[in-house]
Structure 1
Amino acid sequence: MPEFFGVPLDVRFVAVCLAAFIGGFMRGFVGFGAALVTIPVLSLAYEPRLAVAAMSVVGIPTLLQLLPDAIRTSERPIVTPISLAILLSTPLGTWILVSVSPALMKVVISALVVLMVAMLMRGWKLEQQVGRPILVGAGVAGGLIQGAAGIGGPPVVAVILSRPGTPTQQRGNVLALMTAVSLSSLLPLLYFGLFTQKAIVIGLLLLPVYGGSILLGSHYFAYGGARHFRHAAMATLALIGIATLLASLRDYLAS
């Protein structure tokens, strides 16, 4: 079986590449969803700590790729307090990743995603002038979940999508916050020694697939996909949240 610096290029790797392609398209289209799609497959193919680290490697070039859109279209009074809270709370989440049972953490996170999607689909809304405690609370939740499981997007995305605004504004806010989520993981993962050679190699191998699909998703949003933005975002969260919850419950009960 062929290998590349210790990574077998087998069926598992093909499945991970397919997940990275789908995740990259969602990242380019709705601004989030890549980790929610890719990390469960990476965890199944390899293991959770490697999955979180490899996805962080994959996400680094994305920061440069999507940052101009985020700067141009995001609302700074909204994204700044959330981003600061994310950056400060992620190290604690990473400590949880290396200390607590990953199976139990996945169940809690998946249940939280499903709950937030249900609230949004039932018409839960925040006032236009969102208070700072709500923004900070969303950032803290996102940072903890990002550090623990590498999928910190749902809490902050839920807050952003519950506010009124144009699809372009909402997508810009999501892109800016996902930039903060990606950056927040780097130093904690480095501190706890999770950037192993295998994690880095897998991340680098996935970059071309992931980056190319992000371009496809971004073009789709720009050329007619914007009208489907909110429905696509909600459907993505709901489907992946339910699938992850079922898979995590199965793994937890089997452990």
Structure 2
Amino acid sequence: MSDILAQSLAIPGLWVMLATCFIAGLVYGFAGFGAALVFMPVGTIFLPVEAAIASFNLATIVSIFTVLPRALPLVDRRGTATMVLCALPMVALGIWVLKQADVTLLRWAVIAVAAVTLVALVSGLRYRTTPGPATRAAVAGVTGFVGGSTGLLGPVLILFQLAGQDSVARSRATILVFLTITSTLLLPLMALQGALSPSAIPLGFLMFLPYGLGTKVGQALFDPAREGEYRTVSYLIIAAAILLGLPVWD
């Protein structure tokens, strides 16, 4: 284990990834979304996509303790639990695709999903109808597949929630609860398919502190009355991560 830890400490770009983890946690804490959108474009510069997904999702387990308790009372627990259950089989399918696909292609997929999500969010996309169980199940399934194959669990759900009519606080809480639980459950699914490399585990633990600290700071900063400011800052950070993560810089 000491050898694996030493290898993790020697990974090129480690300090950049740790700093990015803090920023990702900060965004997640105050906006309720965007952590993977911040980290994955940068993390995949230094790590294979599988390792970036595994280590980052291990780090995000800390969200169970830092942000989940305050978010749970605000959500429809039954509806959110149903969405998590609908997402998991598609997460497993997405992981299988992750194992088969070309690394460079996956990096471009990460960038593309993040960019499309950002454009849709900035455009202010909204829907007026109340989604039923079938719609929520479909959204959860697509969310799971995209998350399993690219590490970006958030985009589809973010668009679904932020384009709806829920209050800022409830939308944020729903996204937080879904992403925190699903990200945690993604890890055993990766392990079952042999996609959880031993080297990702100590790296994930190294990311625990900066990510957890970021979520606490972000949560302390959250104020529903300043929604516009939060979204603007989050969008700018996501855009910067997308630009930095472009494979053309390799």
Question: TM-score category by the smaller chain?
Answer: 0.7 to 0.9
Which runs of 5 or more residues in structure 2 are unaligned? none
| Distance change >3 Å, CA 117–CA 48, structure 1 → 2 | closer
Could you say which residue in structure 2 is the equivalent of 1:180?
181
RMSD: 2.7
**CA offsets 1:14-53 (integer angstroms, 9 cap, x no match):** 1011101100101111112111212222221122111111
User: The residue matched to 1:197 in structure 2 has which SS?
Assistant: coil
Deviation at 1:109, TM superposition (A): 4.5
Deviation at 1:11, TM superposition (A): 5.9
**% identical equivalent positions:** 23
Deviation at 1:239, TM superposition (A): 5.5
User: The residue matched to 2:152 in structure 1 has which SS?
Assistant: coil
TM-score (norm 1): 0.85
| Distance change >3 Å, CA 237–CA 91, structure 1 → 2 | farther
Q: Which has the higher contact order (CA 8 A, sep 6+)?
A: 2
Q: Distance between the aligned counterparts of 1:161 and 1:197, measured in 2? A: 36
Deviation >4 Å, runs of 4+:
245-249
Could you say which residue in structure 2 is the equivalent of 1:233?
231
Could you say which residue in structure 1 is the equivalent of 2:125?
124
Q: Distance between the aligned counterparts of 1:133 and 1:6, measured in 2? A: 46
Deviation at 1:184, TM superposition (A): 3.5
Deviation at 1:249, TM superposition (A): 5.9
Deviation at 1:241, TM superposition (A): 5.5
How many residues were matched structurally?
Answer: 248
| Distance change >3 Å, CA 95–CA 177, structure 1 → 2 | same
Matched, 1:101 2:99: no
**CA offsets 1:102-141 (integer angstroms, 9 cap, x no match):** 3223434433443344344444322351133332222112
Q: Distance between the aligned counterparts of 1:188 and 1:77, measured in 2? A: 23
Q: Distance between the aligned counterparts of 1:128 and 1:171, measured in 2? A: 19
Question: Please, which moves more after superposition, 242-251 or 46-55?
Answer: 242-251
What amino acid is aligned across from residue 250 of structure 1 in structure 2? V
User: The residue matched to 1:250 in structure 2 has which SS?
Assistant: helix
| Distance change >3 Å, CA 212–CA 112, structure 1 → 2 | closer
| Distance change >3 Å, CA 26–CA 122, structure 1 → 2 | closer
Deviation at 1:201, TM superposition (A): 0.8
User: The residue matched to 1:218 in structure 2 has which SS?
Assistant: helix
CA contact (8 A) 2:51 2:200 kept: yes
Could you say which residue in structure 1 is the equivalent of 2:213?
212
Q: Distance between the aligned counterparts of 1:42 and 1:35, measured in 2? A: 9
What amino acid is aligned across from residue 229 of structure 1 in structure 2? E
Which runs of 5 or more residues in structure 1 are unaligned? none
Q: Distance between the aligned counterparts of 1:209 and 1:239, measured in 2? A: 17
Deviation at 1:197, TM superposition (A): 2.6
What amino acid is aligned across from residue 154 of structure 1 in structure 2? P
Deviation at 1:181, TM superposition (A): 2.6
Q: Distance between the aligned counterparts of 2:48 and 2:144, measured in 1? A: 21
Deviation at 1:163, TM superposition (A): 1.2
